[in-house]
Amino acid sequence: MAELDVEKLSMDVAAQELIKKAQAEGIETIFDRAKTMKPCPIGVEGACCRICAQGPCRVPPPKKKAGEETGEEKKQRMGLCGATAETIVARNFARMVACGTSAHNDHSRGVALLFKEVAHGRTQGYEIKDVTKLRRVAREWGVAITVGEGEDAKPRSKNEIAQELADKVLMAFGQQSGELQYVARAPKKRQEIWRKYGVAPRGCDIEVVELMHRTHMGVDQDYRNIMKQATRCALSDGWGGSMISTDLQDIMFGCPVPVASEINLGVLKEDHVNIIIHGHEPLLPEMIAMAVQEPEMLEYAKSKGAKGIQLAGMCCSANEILMRHGIPVAGNYLHQELAIITGALDAMVVDVQCIFQSLANVAQCYHTKLITTDPRAKMEAGALHIEYDEHHALDVARKVVREAIDNFPNRRAPVMIPAVSHPIVVGFSYETIQYLLGGSIRGTYYTLNDNVIGGRIRGVAGVVGCNNCRTTQDSSHMTLIKELLKNDVIVLSTGCAAMAAGKYGLLTPEAASQYCGPGLAEICETVGIPPVLHMGACVDNSRILMAATACVKAGGLGTDISDLPAAGAAPEWMSEKAIAIGQYFVASGVYTCFGVTFPSTGSEIFTDYLFKGIEEEYGGKWDFIADPEEMARKMIAHIDSKRKALGIDKARERVLMDMDMRRKLEAAAEEA
Ligand code: MSK
């Protein structure tokens, strides 16, 4: 095996220790493969067309600037069918949006189908926990929460409301015309922009299907027109599927409120049965979280020699049960093989998305049972399949937990659990932020806005997305987030980015005095919140859209999301879902920066459209900045430009002057 420089692979000490262990034990991981397998230079630019059997046609990078090429030179940069670099790159980009959207919207459909079954009382283990949110969401969808008129009106039962709501929500997936319900949640001006450009999404499924059709060989050949449908598709994710998932999951499993927990591989316990759930959908993990607490299950674990059962999470299934139950997190995306290499993991239970196929190989080298649970995501070999069924979900969960317990006595490799974990405080749903920063009486984001206007908070940044093995794990997240905090930019975070923040101590209220500028530190200390607010899983980026909308509606910061002193980033992205998320943030008016690499650089004209032209239409735009410090500078410059446009740039200067600076200024004024 090739020698690896572990410090270049991850800044996480726990990861470094386990990569070394893997090397010593001859176990290949993603870090080895990243060293030996380099990305295809043309594919990485989005310039390889594989959509018919006459290619693949690979379009080389241009030798001259766009517009300076001769006709002959342009021909050399075409596919066999004549597809230009712009068309090829746009189609590839759009297909990433389609696939990312399909992942979120299919997740959402599963949640909605479960919701219907729960409403009809046909499931095992589930219930409607947040009736307040149920009523609020039901009203939005036009579902009555009472029966009868006037004084005779009586409240409908939560199940009656949920049954009608479920039917309405499920219609959104097959809806063919009109607009998705949650378009109406966006600021009025934003809705008008979407209607003006014909991108208000009609349904959750139609937009993906149409985008796949339009990027088939020989269909849409105008990159702007392809991007129009890609935008409509992405919006059907952010303001459609993802938002539906968040709402229904909150209603069934509880809307997150602040909760303390712990993060990193050190949460595993040598003398306990260790179970990690990994993936994205919280439906079965919710039941596993119940099953591991059952006294009979604990007794059974003890009968096998364990002191207890330690449940932990990974990736976004982890975020879901972390946010609602405080269940600890074993790590983010690049930790998945490493958790098995500890030798202490008795079962890894996976559902959908972000799961390495190599887990099966690694698990076979240890005693770990790899358990697939979703009919859409099976493994050819090396995994046990125990299928999730909402009608017997708790029984399925118990079966999974028993498999893990039965496996505890089979541990054979030397166990090495790094003594690395950090305390975290999470659970910052849109509603919780409203309560903490807006106050229960006012019930809006007014106080947050007030502090932005007054300059204590310079702006708001969403830092989200994955790890990527082409860059040092967590390093870009940390550099970017620390720069933003130092400059009084509060950070809202989801997914693996939020986990990264937790691993280095940024998800605690104490982090405020250590990492924030004076204005932000004062707010965080007064309210008692961390400077990075963990808002949940990838689908919960919808919570960030809701928070941005609430800021607009609270007043004083313009009339649209694009007016806010705000920016977004995914400095270590890797998944197609990240591209879908990025596109719906751009189309919602947000300046959105991606790191590592950008999949459109094969066409200068198309990239120029994403980085500049698109802003004229939607007020948001993409950017690619590999260096996280430079990314922070550009995000802060953007925030400052928005402050200036709002006329609140001077307020910040006033706030940040200390007494000494103020005295000097007064003295200078007197002299003048
Ligand atoms: S899990 S999509 S690696 S954030 Fe949502 Fe993490 Fe990215 Fe998967």
Start-end of CATH 3.40.50.2030 domains in the chain: 265-410, 422-671
- Ligand 1 site-directed mutation target among 242, 319, 354, most atoms within 8 Å of CB: 354
Instruction: Please give the number of the atom of ligand 1 that sits closest to the Cα of 465.
Output: 4
At 260-305, the pLDDT tens digits run: 999 999 999 999 999 999 999 999 999 999 999 999 999 999 999 9
d(CA 536, CA 144): 30
Query: Which is more confidently placed, 559 or 439?
Result: 559
Give the model's pLDDT for residue 2.
79
Give the model's pLDDT for residue 62.
73
Q: Would you say residue 666 has pLDDT above 50?
A: no
d(CA 489, CA 535): 16
Determine the average pLDDT of the residues in 297-317. 98
**Both tokens assigned to 45:** 């630019």
Q: Would you say residue 385 has pLDDT above 90?
A: yes
At 476-527, the pLDDT tens digits run: 999 999 999 999 999 999 999 999 999 999 999 999 999 999 999 999 999 9
Give the model's pLDDT for residue 66.
66
Determine the average pLDDT of the residues in 35-50. 93
C-alpha atoms less than 13 angstroms from C-alpha of 406 in its C-beta half-sphere: 7
**Per-chain mean pLDDT for the chain:** 94
For the domain spanning 422-671, the CATH number is: 3.40.50.2030
Give the model's pLDDT for residue 660.
60
At 336-381, the pLDDT tens digits run: 999 999 999 999 999 999 999 999 999 999 999 999 999 999 999 8
- Neighbouring C-beta atoms of residue 207, cutoff 10 Å: 29
Cis geometry, peptide bond prior to residue 56 (ω within 30 degrees of 0) = yes
**C-beta of residue 643 within 8 angstroms of C-beta of residue 456:** no
What is the SS3 assignment for 274?
strand
**C-beta of residue 342 within 8 angstroms of C-beta of residue 336:** no
Determine the average pLDDT of the residues in 446-472. 95
Determine the average pLDDT of the residues in 617-636. 98
Start-end of CATH 1.20.1270.30 domains in the chain: 85-253
Return the CATH number of 265-410, one of 3.40.50.300, 3.40.50.150, 3.40.50.2030, 3.40.50.620.
3.40.50.2030
- How would you classify the pairing of strands 259-263 and 422-426? antiparallel
pTM across the whole model: 0.95
**C-beta of residue 319 within 8 angstroms of C-beta of residue 494:** yes
Least confident of 247-261, 468-482, 654-668: 654-668
Q: Would you say residue 657 has pLDDT above 60?
A: no
Residue type, 218: G
Give the model's pLDDT for residue 443.
59
| Binding site membership of 495 for ligand 1 (Cβ less than 6 Å) | yes
- CA 129, distance to chain mean position in Å, is 24
Q: Would you say residue 553 has pLDDT above 80?
A: yes
| Binding site membership of 466 for ligand 1 (Cβ less than 6 Å) | yes
Give the model's pLDDT for residue 440.
56
636 pLDDT band, cuts 50/70/90, is very high
Q: Would you say residue 189 has pLDDT above 60?
A: yes
Return the CATH number of 85-253, one of 3.40.50.300, 3.10.129.10, 1.20.1270.30, 3.90.1150.10.
1.20.1270.30
| Torsion region of 278: left, alpha or beta (phi above 0 gives left; psi -120 to 50 gives alpha) | beta
**C-beta of residue 278 within 8 angstroms of C-beta of residue 267:** no
| Binding site membership of 539 for ligand 1 (Cβ less than 6 Å) | no
Closest C-alpha residue for ligand 1 atom 8: 354
Give the model's pLDDT for residue 71.
77
Most confident of 60-69, 411-420, 492-501: 492-501
**Both tokens assigned to 529:** 């919140």
Give the model's pLDDT for residue 119.
98
- Ligand 1 site-directed mutation target among 350, 466, 543, 596, most atoms within 8 Å of CB: 466
Determine the average pLDDT of the residues in 432-458. 82
Q: Would you say residue 671 has pLDDT above 90?
A: no
At 110-149, the pLDDT tens digits run: 999 999 999 999 999 999 999 999 999 999 999 999 998 8
Determine the average pLDDT of the residues in 632-645. 97
538 CA from centroid of ligand 1 (Å) = 7
The answer for residues whose C-beta is within 8 angstroms of residue 506's C-beta and 6 or more apart is: 478, 481, 482, 485, 515, 530, 531, 532
Nearest residue to 410 (alpha-carbon basis) of 382, 371, 368: 368
Q: Would you say residue 151 has pLDDT above 90?
A: no
Give the model's pLDDT for residue 659.
56
82 pLDDT band, cuts 50/70/90, is very high
464 CA from centroid of ligand 1 (Å) = 9
Give the model's pLDDT for residue 446.
83
Give the model's pLDDT for residue 668.
43
d(CA 462, CA 581): 12
The answer for residues whose C-beta is within 8 angstroms of residue 311's C-beta and 6 or more apart is: 275, 276, 277, 288, 289, 292, 321, 327
Determine the average pLDDT of the residues in 460-480. 98
